[in-house]
Structure 1
Amino acid sequence: MTAQVPVLGQRTCLNPSHKGKTFEWFCESCADLICVSCISTTHKGHNIVQLSVVTPDNKNKIKQFVSDTEKNDLMEIRKEINSMEDILEKHLSHYKSVELEVEDQGTKLKQDVDTMIAQTLSQLKCSKDENTALIISYKDELEKRLGDIKENLERCKQSLQTGSDIEVFDTMKIIRTGTTLPTRPIMGTAKFTPNLCPSLLTALGEMSLTQPSAASGASPDRPNLLPKAKVLAEWAPTNNIKSICPTIGGGAWSCEMSSETITDWTPTGEVYQLKESLVRITDICVVPKTYALWACSNKDNSVVKLTSGELKWQFSTKSEPLSLCVTKDDQVLVGSKQKITKYTQTGKLVNTTKASLFKKQKVVSPWRLTECQVSKNVAVGDGDWSVDGGKDEPLVLVLDIHLQEVWRYGRSQHATKPGSRPFDPYDVTYDSMGQLIVADYSNRCLHLLSGDGIYLRLLHTDTFRPQALCVDTKGVIWAGFGEDTTSTKNVKLLQYTRD
């Protein structure tokens, strides 16, 4: 005969032959409530104890559940609700700013483009409404979970105070289900690109939208993230890595803190080739389209390029270069104290970040530069060093193609995120989806931000401090870790998305 599972509040045996007999015993073998007749029938030979004997242990477990839930689960879900409220506010503010960009561009074109303005704003509104609905739905689900937890806690407390043996046992069934948060939705994005050389048909500009996805599934254009980054390979380098960038063959170039040598590594940690410079190398980068290697030096303020197997001088800069990035449009960005300067590949000045009479510098210590191949924005790892006039509060600053600020992410934005020490972005790199990977030096971990500066998740936590980052041609993170900036203990290859 198949056993019947008692429902919550059931006090008498469900076996028709034992009708009216109360549950006074507990079968440890089956974890079931039984009556006295069950002992000699369906549970014969099992480990049987009186229900009152297991009640003290059940009460202790309920007390522990109440304590853990009040200390952890309630706090976690409240923090998540607060986080979603912040995201909703930032999301609406972002879409409002995009709307203003559309409207500002449209007013320049007068009455002949009113129809195009209306159509574009309609597309934007649909995207905004879809994202807003996702966020509000997710927040409502969180609040529902919060209400369920409070209701269960109240029931637990009542069972501890006045509950019978049956009620205490029933309460144990409730708490065994645990508390899980719903999956956070992946939202779409919006970006408006004004047409700087308008014609009648293309004057308004182009709206780039990605469709949001519900919490139950990811966007078809965005690979699913692994629950935890997987270490594909790990090896100890023979030198101290300061900067790292991918090669076209699936390996990576690296330069040292104070050396004239650039090393080409295989994924297994073998040295494929070495390139020697006449002066100490400060930073290296590769051209997105060709993966040609470029480098700079603060010894003689030179910018060099690997040509025919040799590092050859291209041009010199007026200020000592801290960082280097060659963009998808073949422009050369050089980061130096309190500015970023854009050059042609022959060294002709194109643009530079400048502080106006009433505004402070956009950048202070641009230690790292990386370009997004999706938006063409440039992310700056700004050390904000006091020796350069900063406050020693490092941050991530994102600029557009005209070197105008798009958004910034610093300690105030990161305050509630993982890590016990202040946010310390030491290196940054974009992946192929336009997401930004950030090396948090002090907290020994890697974070993932969206292209709009929204915190997505913690990718990896390490024993050592992350010092250098890149994403190779296969979408794998190369990360150099060390105890301090004078030594690199190991290099890890991390897979963070599903194949």
Structure 2
Amino acid sequence: MDPFRRAQIILLCDLCKTAHLQSHCERCDINICQTCVGEHLSDSSIRHNVVPYKYRKSLNYSKCPDHADELCKHYCKECDIPVCSTCVSSSKHEGHDISDILEKLSAKTESLQKDLDELDTRIYPRYEEMASDVQTEKAELETNYGELTTIADQQGEILHREITAIVNQRKSAIAEMKNKHLSTLNKNTEEITQKMTDLKQIMSDLKSILKSNDVSLTSTYKSRNSEFRTLPPKIQVTVPSFSAQKINIDQLNEMFGSLSPLSINTEHGDTMNSAEAVSSPPVKPLLDEPRVTATIDTGYRELHSVSCLSEDQVWTCGDNKTMELLNLQSELLTSIQTKSGKWPTDIAVTRDGDLVYTDPSIKTVNLIKNKQIQTVITLQGWVPLSVCCTASDDLLVTMVSDNRKQSKVVRYSGSTEKQSIQFDDQGRPLYSSGYIKYLSENKNLDICVADRLASAVVVVNQSGKLRFRYTGHPSNIEQSFNPYGITTDSQSHILTADFNNRLIHILDQDGQFLRYIHCDLKLPSGLCVDIRDNLFVAELIIAKVKKIQYL
């Protein structure tokens, strides 16, 4: 029955006290007649929510623990608790900032919904993805370890009875490593599964709170999202390789071949940005007319590379053994000589502000900390070329083989090789064998290489899978595309120096050409950007660095 037509109950407007109510303001929790609605909505300082009375939501106010007959319709910001009217007027809350509980309810409801959305659409799917990756790796265990066992069997058949004992030893080692590998993955799966179970429970609780519209539960809810933004550790296990040797009966045990150790590395789980941080950094549109804001004269005969230490200090290297730190006024702040006394090929600055350089003459990658040179990587059979520091503080190094027939990108954590990127899915080389091959890691963790000999920018994802090749833009430029230096910015733009055409190409993260930067550049070589996305361009022959604003 319509409440307005009940003979025994007459519901009147809370404002005029005379007319029958028609509506309900959920924000103010009052009943209003049709005449008073307009007057009520005229107060623009409050975000009212007026609905037909029969569609109103019933609010479950909590009872005051100190005054049993009263409901807590207010909120004390200092004490962070719901309070009733009597509490408000008491000396206990004198001078405190008191607000309507509905203000707190609205804010907390919005916060709960944001937490639920982040858990449901961002965090939980990442856990599902991690769990799927581990299951895939487990599914490949039989194949990978089966191949090792087959190799051991083939080698054993050649040596017949004399090596039976050795074959059994190797099989046992393989089985033990396999079990350890599987045990490690199972443990990782259990940890991820437990986290997923906890997340499901939290999401269920949040849904229940939101559905209940319970003021007490809503106002006292404490978010746990930050606890789950840091993903569980990611286990990386390298399947052992088998090195077979030629048969020598007198040295069977040594010549049979050995298994490399089972390598199990635990990476700290990635910490996902909060839902509020997803939209950052703010979008910065490209300027129609980029402009040079500073020019640094380095004094080199040839300037090869530049790397930002700050907005007004850059490291440089060129055609001698000295690396120099300069400010925007071309003043020399610090200089460091290479350990070998030969030219460095490239430089980069770590997250801690230390300088890294490659020395092809002695095949090393070196770290300069407190002006002391530490050799971090020493290569054999390969010559290091360019280097960059990643968001995870790894080093990415381009290198070419001693015979100049092969080229690859290798990721290092300290002195430990973590990843080698050399071929595509069809086994074809990703990179040319040329020496000039600068690289940069993009914000989406793609690895971008400017391969000058190939006349291409080659971009692979974090796993080393080819995403695309950019071979220039079909526009009116003087000569063919000739990429040299490369860098990326906060907008995930890829910027590469077109050496012969004396300009910079700006691409989006998917390799789509956006525009050029001209700025009267003279043979641009090395590139870098600072934390405010100012571009620094090294000009090879005139040995100057130009600071350019393009966003």
> TM-score, normalization: structure 2?
0.47
Summarize the Cα distance change of 1:420–1:475 in structure 2 as closer, same or farther, 3 Å threshold: same
Contact 2:303 2:544 in 1 (8 A): no
Match of 2:468 in 1: 407
Equivalent runs, 1:193-208 vs 2, <5 Å: none
Give the superposition deviation at 1:221: 2.4
Pick closer, same or farther for the CA change 1:359–1:207 going to 2, 3 Å: farther
1:370 aligns with 2:440: yes
**Structure 1 SS opposite 2:518:** strand
The answer to whether structure 1 residue 299 and structure 2 residue 357 are counterparts is no
Secondary structure in 2 matching 1:243:
strand
Tell me what 1:232 maps to.
293
How much has 1:465 moved relative to structure 2?
Answer: 1.5
Q: 1:208 to 1:434 in 2, by over 3 A?
A: farther
d(CA) in 1 for partners of 2:471, 2:275: 26
Q: Which runs of 5+ in 1 are unaligned?
A: 1-101, 114-192, 199-204, 214-218, 385-392
* DSSP 3-state at the match of 1:227: coil
Q: Give aligned-pair identity as a percent.
A: 23
User: Do structure 1's residue 349 and structure 2's residue 417 form an aligned pair?
Assistant: yes
Task: Indicate the residue corresponding to 1:467 in structure 2.
Answer: 525
Q: Structure 1 residues 470 and 367 mapped into 2: Cα distance closer, same or farther (>3 Å)?
A: same
User: How far is 1:454 from its partner?
Assistant: 0.9
Hey, what's the Cα distance between the residues in 1 that align with 2:425 and 2:529? 39
Give the superposition deviation at 1:290.
Answer: 1.9
Distance 1:459 1:343 in 2: 33
Query: Which residue identity lines up with residue 437 of structure 2 in the other structure?
Result: W
Spell out the pairing of 1:44-63 with structure 2 (5 A cutoff). none
Aligned pairs (5 A) from 1:312-351: 312-318=374-380, 319-337=382-400, 338-345=407-414, 347-351=415-419
Q: CA deviation at 1:429?
A: 0.5
The residue that corresponds to 2:347 in the other structure is: 284
Which aligned pairs between 1:159-198 and structure 2 lie closer than 5 A?
none
**Inter-partner Cα distance in structure 2 for 1:265 and 1:444:** 24
| Counterpart-to-counterpart distance in 2, 1:224 and 1:357 | 36
Shift of residue 359, structure 1, vs aligned partner = 2.6
CA distance 1:307–1:410, shift in 2 (3 Å): same
Aligned-partner SS, 1:247 = strand
1:390 counterpart residue number: none
Output the CA distance in 2 between the equivalents of 1:253 and 1:476: 15
Q: What CA deviation, in whole Å up to 9, does each residue of 1:45-97 have, x standing for no partner? A: xxxxxxxxxxxxxxxxxxxxxxxxxxxxxxxxxxxxxxxxxxxxxxxxxxxxx
Distance in 1 separating the partners of 2:410 and 2:377 = 13
Partner of 1:311: 373
What is the alpha-carbon distance in structure 1 between the residues aligned to residue 418 and residue 520 of structure 2? Answer: 41
Structure 2 SS opposite 1:264: strand
Distance in 2 separating the partners of 1:339 and 1:253: 26
Distance change (3 Å), C-alpha of 1:308 and 1:234:
closer
* 3-state DSSP of counterpart to 2:429: coil
Conservation of the 8 A alpha-carbon contact between 1:418 and 1:458: no
The alignment's C-alpha RMSD in Å is 3.8
- In the alignment, the residues of structure 2 paired with residue 308 and residue 230 of structure 1 have an alpha-carbon distance, to the nearest angstrom, of 35
CA shift digits 1:423-458 (9 cap, x unpaired): 111111011221111111111111211111111111
Gaps of 5+ in 2: 1-128, 137-192, 197-230, 237-270, 401-406
Q: Is the 8 A contact 2:299 2:543 kept in 1?
A: no
> 1:250, 1:474 within 8 Å by CA — same for their partners in 2?
no
Distance 1:456 1:196 in 2: 36
Aligned to 1:492: 546
Q: Deviations over 1:108-163 (max 9, x none)?
A: 79xx99xxxxxxxxxxxxxxxxxxxxxxxxxxxxxxxxxxxxxxxxxxxxxxxxxx
Contact 2:359 2:384 in 1 (8 A): yes
Identify if the C-alpha distance between structure 1 residues 311 and 208 changes in structure 2 by more than 3 Å, giving closer, same or farther: same
CA separation of 1:197/1:321 partners in 2, compared to 1, >3 Å: closer, same or farther? closer
Secondary structure at the aligned position of 1:321 is classed as: strand
- Once the 2 structures are TM-superposed, how far is the Cα of residue 323 of structure 1 from its aligned partner? 0.8
2:483 maps to: 425
Can you list the C-alpha shifts for 1:362-408, whole angstroms capped at 9, x where unaligned? 11236101112x21212111123xxxxxxxx3211112222222222
Give 1:360's match in structure 2, choosing from 421, 425, 428: 428
Does the Cα contact within 8 Å between 2:423 and 2:429 map onto a contact in 1?
Answer: yes
C-alpha spacing 1:407/1:251, structure 2 compared with 1 (3 Å): same
Match of 2:449 in 1: 380
- Find out whether 1:264 has 2:325 as its counterpart: yes
Q: TM-score, normalised by structure 1?
A: 0.51
**Structure-2 separation of matches of 1:267 and 1:427:** 21
Distance of aligned partners of 1:107 and 1:301 in 2 relative to their CA distance in 1, 3 Å threshold: closer
Q: Distance in 2 between matches of 1:453 and 1:331?
A: 24
Q: Which of 1 and 2 has greater Rg? A: 2
The answer to whether the 8 Å contact 2:424/2:465 transfers is no
Contact 2:534 2:549 in 1 (8 A): yes
Match of 2:190 in 1: none
* Residue number in structure 2 paired with 1:244: 306
8 Å CA contact 2:296, 2:328 repeated in 1: no
Aligned length: 289
The equivalent residue for 1:394 is 455
- Residue type of the alignment partner of 1:233: A
